[in-house]
Structure formats: structure tokens, C-alpha cells
């Protein structure tokens, strides 16, 4: 039985009307905090309107990682991927988390009978045979995860070149796409489990960039130093091209001093890597996966969708 579809949401503020838009925004600015927020969102939307995201010269491969759970890794992966694909770029999401949440959010089947990234890593199945088209977003494809991945950590131990298996599969897939006359992939996002096992090591070896979502709460920086040490170890021994290129602040609650303090501290430590865009706590972002959608298609007018659009645009400009 198909999941019920959410009711369409009408934008609270347009700001793009041919007449009276600017004076309306000025009126809102002088009003309540909520009205001021709506006016601010309208201005942010205006800045994004008509902006074209340029294609990178080479495929950019991101590992989305944080050893701390519940920081928005999967949410960030699928929504930035959807935002970039909606702008006309070719995007692949690889789900290597046994929970398969990224596959769920993109509307991709991932029950135990489906061929998945497990078959690619363990059985040398071509990536092209497991990749599926996202039903809601053109130009976005996904290699799903199944529950079989839960045992993959143990099975990988005895395999030859166990750390490089995902990288080789991606390289082979790129060649297959070219031979088939398909457009080159612009972005690949690998959604990792919250641990440093062989699945995450495979992701680090396959990527050139690391995107770290950081929750704007007290424990945010606690596990970060260990993550950076692990990345440094991967750089030294397995993948010298890997670098932390992007940090995204998530679950930001502007009503608390703590969130502002955490954000300021992260920006102080990583001034070059932290995006200006900040993802707020949002009911719409949380609801979207239950409809097997990203927030970009579930409610494109929401604050959460706007924030991920801004983050995607920043990533494309780097």
C-alpha cells in the first residue's frame, strides 16, 4: 500500500512578486521575530533563484562521516545529493550503512532479495547492476544497502585488497557509463555507518573529500578529534588524496545560546571547511523519510529544504 502523500504546502512569503514585494518584506522586518524570519527566508530564496551550479572538472567523491551517531549524516547525504541533482548535475549515492536509511529516504527498494552494495563489495558484482534510479529526482541514482551488510565487516577481512574494493567498483562503473554513452557523474556521496570498520575504511579509500556533519550540541566536538586522527591515518597509509573539505552544522536551534557557542567554536577551529549554510532543527526534515522522500521533494518550500539548497550551492562553488 502506497504511503500517504503530504498535503501541498503554500509558501508563507513569496518575495518574488512583480509589485510590492520589497515593501512587503520591509513591513515584515519591522514586525515580529517570526515575520522577520519569513522575510529573511524570502531574501535567501531570491538569492538562489536562477543560480546555475557549475559542473566540476572531475567527479567529486565525498564520504559523509562522523563516528558520533544521530548527527544527520544520512539526512545530509540524501538532501545535498537531491539538491545537486535537481540543479541538473549527475549524482550517485552509495549507501554502505547496514541500516539502509539513505536507500529508504531516496525511495529505493532495499529488502534482503535486492542486489545491493553488499554484492559489489563481497561478490564483485558490477556497481552498474545494483544502481537504481531515484523515483522523485531526475539525475539521481543510488546503490542501496541491505541487511546483508551487517556481516560484511567480517567477510571483508579475508578478501584481497579489502580496503580498495569500493574504489575499484566506482572506477569500473565510471568506465561502464562512458562506454554506454551515459553522462559522467559529477558527484558521488557515500553514506557511512557511525563507526570506523572496514566499510567506512572502504569509503575513505574511495573518496577524495570528507563531508562531516556536526550537530550543534555539547558533545559535537568530542568525537571529532578521533575522527580526524583516523582520517590522518587513512591519508598516511591508504589514500594520500583524502582531505576534509566540508563541515556542515546541523540541527541548529537559534533559540539557544549553546547552539551559537558550538557553531562559533567549530568555525574558529575550521574556518576554511565550515559552510556558511546551517541546517536548523526541522519537523519537515524528520518527516520526509517516512514518505520515502528527501525534504527537497517532500516540502521544497520548507526552511530545511532551503538550507540544504544553500549548502549544495556552496559545495558546488568550492
CATH code assigned to 57-317: 3.40.50.300
CA distance 315 to 74: 17
- Name, in order, each residue with C-beta under 8 angstroms of 8's C-beta and a sequence gap of 6 or more: none
Average pLDDT, 10 consecutive residues per value, the chain (318 residues) = 48 41 49 72 74 91 90 94 96 96 94 93 96 95 95 92 95 96 97 90 97 87 84 95 96 87 90 93 92 94 93 92
DSSP SS3 for 193: coil
**pLDDT value for 30:** 54
pTM comes to 0.87
Decide if 92 contacts 141 (C-beta within 8 A). Answer: yes
Beta bridge mates, 41:
none
Residue ranges per domain, the chain? 15-50, 57-317
**pLDDT value for 221:** 77
**pLDDT value for 184:** 96
> Cβ-count burial of 8 within 10 angstroms (0-12 exposed, 13-18 middle, 19+ buried)?
exposed
Question: How many residues in the chain?
Answer: 318
Decide if 249 contacts 307 (C-beta within 8 A). Answer: no
- Name, in order, each residue with C-beta under 8 angstroms of 122's C-beta and a sequence gap of 6 or more: 152, 155, 156, 159
Decide if 180 contacts 172 (C-beta within 8 A). Answer: no
Q: Half-sphere exposure (CA, 13 Å, Cβ side) for 214?
A: 31
CA distance 18 to 21: 7
Please state at what angle helix 198-206 crosses helix 224-237, rounded to 10 degrees.
60
CA distance 101 to 108: 10
Instruction: Indicate the pairing of strand 140-143 with strand 132-133.
Output: antiparallel
Amino acid at each position: 500500500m502506497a504511503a500517504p502523500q503530504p498535503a501541498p504546502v503554500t509558501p508563507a512569503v513569496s518575495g518574488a512578486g512583480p509589485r510590492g514585494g520589497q515593501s512587503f518584506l520591509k513591513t515584515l522586518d519591522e514586525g515580529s521575530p517570526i515575520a522577520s524570519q519569513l522575510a529573511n527566508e524570502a531574501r535567501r530564496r531570491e538569492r538562489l533563484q536562477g543560480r546555475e551550479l557549475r559542473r566540476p572538472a572531475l567527479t567529486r567523491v565525498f564520504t559523509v562521516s562522523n563516528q558520533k551517531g544521530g548527527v544527520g549524516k544520512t539526512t545530509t547525504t540524501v538532501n545535498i545529493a537531491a539538491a545537486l541533482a535537481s540543479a541538473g548535475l549527475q549524482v550517485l549515492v552509495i549507501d554502505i550503512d547496514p541500516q539502509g536509511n539513505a536507500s529508504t529516504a531516496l525511495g529505493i527498494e532495499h529488502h534482503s532479495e535486492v542486489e545491493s552494495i553488499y554484492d559489489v563489495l563481497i561478490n564483485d558484482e558490477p556497481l552498474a547492476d545494483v544502481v537504481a534510479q531515484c523515483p522523485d529526482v531526475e539525475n539521481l541514482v543510488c546503490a542501496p544497502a541491505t541487511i546483508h551488510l551487517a556481516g560484511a565487516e567480517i567477510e571483508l577481512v579475508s578478501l584481497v585488497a579489502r580496503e580498495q574494493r569500493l574504489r575499484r567498483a566506482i572506477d569500473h562503473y565510471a568506465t561502464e557509463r562512458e562506454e554506454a554513452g551515459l553522462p559522467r557523474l559529477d558527484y558521488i556521496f557515500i553514506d557511512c555507518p557511525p563507526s570506523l570498520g572496514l566499510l567506512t575504511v572502504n569509503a575513505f579509500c574511495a573518496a577524495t573529500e570528507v563531508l562531516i556533519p556536526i550537530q550543534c550540541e555539547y558533545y559535537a566536538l568530542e568525537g571529532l578529534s578521533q575522527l580526524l586522527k583516523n582520517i590522518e591515518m587513512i591519508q598516511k597509509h591508504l589514500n594520500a588524496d583524502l582531505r576534509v573539505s566540508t563541515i556542515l552544522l546541523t540541527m541548529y536551534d537559534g533559540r539557544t545560546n549553546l547552539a551559537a557557542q558550538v557553531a562559533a567554536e567549530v568555525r574558529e577551529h575550521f574556518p576554511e571547511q565550515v559552510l556558511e549554510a546551517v541546517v536548523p532543527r526541522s519537523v519537515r526534515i524528520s518527516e520526509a523519510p517516512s514518505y520515502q522522500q528527501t525534504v527537497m521533494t517532500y516540502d521544497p518550500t520548507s526552511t530545511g529544504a532551503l538550507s540544504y539548497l544553500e549548502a549544495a550551492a556552496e559545495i558546488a562553488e568550492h
